[in-house]
Structure 1
Amino acid sequence: MKRKKLPNNKHNGLSIYCSKSKCDRHFSWTHVNEKQEDGSFVKKEPHCGITNKKLSSCRFYEKHKFITRIHIPGTYKGRKSKTLDASNYVEAVVEAIEFENEFKKEFKVSSTPTEFVSKRCFLINAQARYIEVLSNINVPDHKKKVRSKDYISEEKSRLKEFNEALVKNGVNKRMILIDRITDHHVGIYHTSILKGRENKNRTYNNKVASLKRFFNWAIKYYKLKIVNPFDEVNKRAEVIRKDTITGEEYKRLLAIISPERGIAIVGLKDKQRKQRYKLYLKDGIELALHTGGRREEIVVLKWNMIKSIKGELSYIEMSNLKVERQLGEGFNENVALKIIPITRSLLKLLYRMGYEKYKDSD
């Protein structure tokens, strides 16, 4: 049996593995001609893991095997490897290419990048993948959910804020493993939220909730055998004050809505006048009051959503957009519509807005 060698410009991923129990080393190269200062070349070799002598003098060369390794897409250091039967480099390349083609075919047909997970999961890599999942990137269709850009941006900024707090306290955000995050790191974030800022308790709770969601996802996605480090963070008391206005105040609010009062100055350096007044603004505010609908539900109302019973206007059928988003596309076809009764005051508003002219239209 001849010694196995690798050329300088070898096939990517190919190496030689010594299966001798006391050696157990991989050699990605077997020799290189190193240029000296005088212009001459000296042959350089890696060393045997047992004798510490040059690889070419290893007594256990019969234990040497060609091995090929392929990086698993979607992972940090995940690899799939195969020990080859080849006795020389040319045969090894042929086997390696066959293995690569089989892997690519299998990967494309039966797998997605999200299914391959590295055993060593770094915090920053997990965060990047989490934001991708929220954005439905490389997510199977049946798991996709509709999330607003504002929501994703908010989650991203809170993860960034957590990282910045760690960095300020000497933690390398790029090197720490996600399963090494402890109460110590949670405490750092807790202090950073409260110190030197006027964050209210509700803001604190929202920020902690974002981190808790991320770690719950990571534990499930990476199959980590750890407890969520944010589980024991207690919610801070929130005092929610809901002020109401009188009917008279409400009328005065509508009365001051005008083009003259709708001018706003925007921009820090290049200040510009913007007209914020819209013809539909008063109608929108009144519809919100009389229907109780969410803002996004109000702006998509159509005249043909108004339903009659025995010739009299009775109710408005309104889509429940919040529930539809939560269920996701493909699972939200049968969400019950919100039924808004048409009261006497709402009836007057609809006629004032032009019901007779626009009824049953889109």
Structure 2
Amino acid sequence: MMRLKIEKNNYGLRVYCTKCKKQYYHHNINQCKHEEYQHYKSIVSYSNGRKAKMYKTKKYDEALISAIQFKKDVKNGVLNEDSIKDMINLNNISIIDAANMFLEYKHGIDVPLHLKKEISKKHLNEIKNNVQLFINILRDKKINIEMMTIDSISDKHVGYWYEYVTEKYSIGSLSTKLKIIKSFINHMIEEVGVVMKNPFKKVILDEVLCNVNSITKEEFFNVIDAVENKTPFQQLGGNRKERKNRYKPYLVNGFKLALHTGLRHEELVTLTWNDLFFSRKNNCYMFVIDNLKVERITGKKFKKKYIPVGEDLFELLQELGFEDLKESELYVLEPKRTISYKTMMANLSKGFSHYYKQAYPNREGMKFKVLRKTYLTYLNKEVGKNMIELSSHGSMKTLQKHYIDEEIATRGLNMRIFE
């Protein structure tokens, strides 16, 4: 296949390589060695931003004529926001163009302010990687995703994806991948207006068997002891043979605070003393915080989370400086910190896993989230179905599936953990 011809022009026409993910001009087109991935593309700037269009033709003269007309339409306001759906041939959107439209939408590009959602950089990368994975799977099957239209995706193509991901990934990670690829197709149907059915809706994944065991009192305090008395160094794999020091001075307090509040990582490390309120009605202290995870997922404000401060938690708060720090804007955990909350989240997670293995080298490891599971397990026994008001889950079904340790739940213990 011949390299596409491109000449200097005033119409925004250039060559775009979907392999390099770069655009080339008359002076550097020779740098691209992927002739089969080259396409003509034009970009035109206007008062409110830029418009781009990819062309299917491989002939320079045809692409140039189209680029001249495209620029004229943009400058004359033919392709304004009000007629965006008229601009797009909904029956002729390629898979690669659809993927780019979806990713631009998720990044908030040309999205009206009231429709923009705050999405973490980590989740944006996850979305991008999973859409890219689907494209790569189709390419490996010799499918021209630059030419094949999005509405041509069928059960056959879903089968290619399903075969690959079920072989390469664990059952636990598949639901996220399926959710992202479903939302990609749904976006094209619901937001762009492509007329098609979502073939990914037919995919049924095996149910994940969740480990709902809590941590025992003996295990927890042996982990605490390991932080103070076992080696902090973890030997990593790979060619570098790197050793990581997992010790941090706030680990013990972090583990205890997680156990006695049931908070998620982000909520825990961003908890401040002025989140603590005294309830005159109940004659007790309560933490009242925003439900960060649910709000990030839904893009909407959600009801507050209430963490009652029982005897165990109050004792811990006194150790952490309750008398001097209450009502201040300082963090409860590591008030005078010099690192980001994301770094603290990672340190707590990796630190807990490391020191659990130090305490129990011959057992299967436990993760930091077991502390939340333990809290919710005891909470369930104490308040029953009313725990939904405290746990911030969408339903009791979610709690029963992921957090309730049946053995502990039947013991009839009070909310004081481990007693």
Coarse TM-score class (shorter-chain normalised): 0.5 to 0.7
* CA shift digits 1:97-141 (9 cap, x unpaired): 99765428x83xx55979843331000111112112111122111
Amino acid at match of 2:194: L
AA aligned opposite 2:201: D
**Partner in structure 1 of residue 306 of structure 2:** 339
Q: Deviations over 1:148-188 (max 9, x none)?
A: 12212122222222122212222112221101111111111
Give me the whole-angstrom Cα distance separating, in 1, the residues matched to 2:213 and 2:295: 30
Q: Give per-residue Cα distances to partners, 1:176-229, cap 9 Å, x unaligned.
A: 11011111111111112234x3x3333333322221111011112331111111
Q: Tell me if structure 2 keeps the 8 A contact 1:204–1:236.
A: no
Cα contact 1:73–1:113 (8 A) shared by 2: no
Higher normalized contact order (CA 8 Å, seq sep 6+, divided by chain length): 2
Cα distance in 2 for partners of 1:160, 1:99 equals: 32
Aligned residues of 2:287 and 2:308 also touching (Cα < 8 A): yes
When residues 112 and 292 of structure 1 are mapped into structure 2, their CA distance, relative to the original with a 3 A threshold, is farther
Deviation larger for 287-296 or 253-262: 253-262
Asked whether the 8 Å contact 1:75–1:118 carries over to 2, the reply is no
Match of 2:220 among 250, 254, 258: 250
Shift in CA distance, 256/100, structure 1 to aligned 2, threshold 3 Å: closer
The answer on 1:187 being equivalent to 2:159 is: yes
Could you list the runs of 5+ residues in structure 1 that have no partner in the other structure? 1-8, 14-69, 79-92
Larger Rg: 1
Instruction: Tell me what 2:326 maps to.
Output: 359
Which structure has more helix as a fraction of its residues? 2
Residue equivalent to 1:323? 294
C-alpha displacement at 1:265, in angstroms? 4.4
Given that 1:182 and 1:229 are in contact with CA atoms closer than 8 Å, whether structure 2 keeps it comes out as yes
TM-score, normalising length: structure 2:
0.57
Secondary structure of the equivalent of 2:177?
helix
- Using a 3 Å threshold, how does the CA distance of structure 1 residues 308 and 73 change in structure 2: closer, same or farther? same
| 2:51–2:74 CA contact under 8 A, matched in 1 | no
| Equivalent residue in structure 1 for 2:179, among 171, 195, 209 | 209
Question: Are 1:133 and 2:105 an aligned pair?
Answer: yes
The C-alpha deviation readout for 1:61-90, integer Å capped at 9, x for no partner, is xxxxxxxxx999244459xxxxxxxxxxxx
Counterpart mapping for 1:57-96 below 5 A:
73-76=51-54
C-alpha displacement of 1:326: 3.7
Q: Percent of aligned positions with the same letter in both sequences?
A: 29
Paired residues for 1:96-111 under 5 Å: 101-103=75-77, 107=80, 111=82
Secondary structure of the structure 1 residue equivalent to 2:193? coil
CA shift for structure 1 position 142? 0.5
Q: Residues 167 and 352 (structure 1 numbering): CA distance in 2 closer, same or farther, change over 3 Å?
A: same
SS across alignment from 1:315: strand
Instruction: Output the CA distance in 1 between the equivalents of 2:71 and 2:279.
Output: 72
3-state DSSP class of the match of 1:158? Answer: helix
Q: Does the CA-based 8 Å contact 1:205-1:236 persist in structure 2?
A: no
Give the aligned partner of residue 162 of structure 1. 134
Give, in angstroms, the shift of residue 237 of structure 1.
2.5
Moved more, 180-189 or 266-275: 266-275
- More deviation in 319-328 or 116-125? 319-328
Corresponding position: 1:307 with 2:277: yes
**C-alpha separation between the residues in 1 aligned to 2:253 and 2:296?**
26
The correspondence for 1:290, drawn from 250, 260, 284, is 260
How many positions carry a matched residue from both structures?
Answer: 273
**C-alpha distance 287-180 of structure 1, shift in aligned 2 (>3 A):** same
Aligned to 2:96, the other structure's residue is in SS state helix
Name 1:348's counterpart in structure 2: 315
Aligned to 2:143: 171
Matched, 1:117 2:88: yes
TM-score (norm 1): 0.66
CA distance in 2, matches of 1:245, 1:99: 65
2:122 paired residue among 121, 142, 150: 150
Distance in 1 separating the partners of 2:303 and 2:124:
27
Instruction: Flag the 1:306–1:157 CA change in 2: closer, same or farther, 3 A.
Output: same
In the TM superposition, 1:222-241 aligns within 5 A as 222-241=192-211
Unaligned runs of 5+ in 2: 1-7, 13-43, 57-67, 330-419
Shift of 1:262: 2.4
Whole-angstrom CA distance in 1 between matches of 2:272 and 2:171? 40
Cα offset, 1:259, TM superposition: 8.3
Between the aligned partners of 1:345 and 1:316, the Cα distance in structure 2 is 14
AA aligned to 2:124 is: I
